[in-house]
Copies of this chain bind each other. A is one copy, B any other.
Amino acid sequence: MENEMTRLEMVRALVGEVAELAPGEVWLAGAGPGDPALLTVQLLAGLAQADAVVHDALIDPRVLAMARPEALLVPAGKRGGRPSADQADIIARLIALAGAGHRVLRLKGGDTYVFGRGAEEALALAAAGISFRIVPGLTAGLAGPALAGIPTTMRGVNQAVILATGHPAGPAVPGDAPEPDWAALARLGQTIVIYMASRTIGRIAAAMIAGGADPATPAAAIAAASTARARVAVTTLSGIAEAVAAMPGADPKIVVIGAVVAVRAELLALADQVRK
């Protein structure tokens, strides 16, 4: 047993030196879309060092299983429509744990800073005098389509990708920025990726079509990207709300709108031809 390497030693053997998660420090880390193979090495190092892991509800159990056996696991995530820890409570918990000298890993789905309220947590930690580090993760809005056979950019097709949240703005969420101008977004003719759109996609697609978007624009919905439960539905802008509604409710969903969605069928057709 004396030759057995610790997880941290293995990470170091693989990539050389990695950052130290110091006592009293917080890493604001993105765990990617779900598949543990899509974690960054830096995040593995964080899991191998953390005394406390404060994690969103949707973090894959296989990822949480990589924490140290003695680490405190603190569920802190919001989950659409279910009771959840308040953001202020999450921040207070991070500050308390770090203040007590723990090495704290704040584990968020996807990327730390893409629609994850990571910026609020970073500002609160800075104001409390707690040192922190950002550990970026793969965002489901780019990795999800890629794994589903949909490139978010393609030469000759688009020169921009718009990542937008479909989470309802307005009085329902005090402090939110004004909702994106969906019709104006659609008129750009670029790829549009919408996160957290389950409840709003019908209204969003209607706004796009009313603003001049072609109802036949290719569109896809992707649920539970990178996991064994992953589902892909390819349709058009006019059919996207129905396609999203037909998917299992609890899994996070990503919607992709734009000509690049058609590449998936092209790849599948080529693969079929070769098989014949």
Contacts and interface: CB of A to CB of B under 8 A. Distances in A.
B151 A142 contact: no
A177 interface: yes
Nearest to A150: B113
Interface in A8-41: 10-11, 13-16, 18-19, 32, 35-41
A261 to B, nearest CB: 12
A185 B271 CA distance: 37
A100 interface: no
A236 interface: no
Given A42-B37, A179-B159, A185-B188, A14 B18 contact: no
A181 B188 contact: yes
Contacts of A185: 160, 188
Nearest to A167: B159
A139 interface: yes
A112 B165 contact: no
Count of chain copies? 2
A5 interface: yes
A209 interface: no
A181 B40 CA distance: 35
A18 B39 CA distance: 12
Interface of A: 3, 5, 7, 10-11, 13-16, 18-19, 32, 35-42, 44-45, 62, 66, 111-120, 122-123, 126-129, 134, 136-139, 142-143, 145-147, 151-165, 167, 169, 173, 175-181, 184-185, 187-190, 260, 263, 266-267, 270-271, 274
Interface pairs A-B: 3 shortest CB-CB: A129-B274, A119-B151, A126-B270
7 contacts: A32-B40, A113-B146, A116-B153, A118-B151, A127-B270, A160-B163, A163-B163
